[in-house]
Structure formats: structure tokens, C-alpha cells
Amino acid sequence: MSKKKSKFKLHIKRLEPVRDRFMFTDNRHPEKGILSAVLGCISVTTYILAVVFTYNNGGQALMQYAAAAFVAAIFSVAGLVLGIMSRFEKDIFKLFPNIGIILNSLAVIFVVFLIVLNFL
């Protein structure tokens, strides 16, 4: 009688310490970058809400919407400056500065678009 060999083999790995999964670093999230991302979120949200409320009002923008958009424009410029400043710091994670730069750039572009649209 001959024994049949099984096609399936059981591989048991030895439990070894896995040091490759963790990356130890001194990098940090910069406070200016986080503030830039928060200001970008506030600006973009304010613009979206101002446009939606103006649309619901029949296309007539109230003074409150214009004031909110003006404050959001100031926030977006300040957030853009903070995002660029934090991007030049050393030993940082670049997630929040990049998010801040992108959101604030979109907000500034939207303001420029509205100003150009006003003159057409």
C-alpha cells in the first residue's frame, strides 16, 4: 500500500517580532496647517451655504450673505497664507497643510470667479 501525499500543505510561520509595520518618526502635524485646513473648511462651507440660500431666495442675495462671504474671503486668504507657511516647516506631516492650501485656493478662486462674473 502506498500512501497518497496531500496537495495541501500546512505552513506554520514562526511568530517573530514584526518591526517593519511601525514607522517611528519625529514628524508632527503643524498647528498652522491644521488651522489652515479648518479655515478652508469654514470658507468653502460658507460659500456653499451663501449660494444655496441666495438661490432659495430667488437669486437675491441678502446683506447677511454678502457679509458672510466677505468674512469667508478674509478667512480663505489667511488660511492660504498659513497653509503655505506651514508647508515650509521641517519634520512635519504634510496632510493638513496640503488640505488647507487646496481648500483655501478653491475659496479664493471662487471669490475671483464671483467678482469677474459681476463685471460681465
For the chain, domain boundaries: 31-119
Bridge partners, residue 28, by sequence:
92
Report field, pTM of the whole predicted structure over 0.85: no
Q: Quick one: cell of 72? A: 469667508
Task: Quickly state the pLDDT bin for 4 (edges 50, 70, 90).
Answer: low
Please give the DSSP secondary-structure letter assigned to residue 103. Answer: H
Q: Using one digit for the tens of pLDDT, what is the confidence trace for 19-78? A: 566 767 788 889 999 999 999 999 999 999 999 999 999 988 899 999 999 999 999 999
> What does the alpha-carbon distance between residue 44 and residue 47 come to, in Å, rounded to a whole number?
5
Q: Quick one: cell of 67? A: 457679509
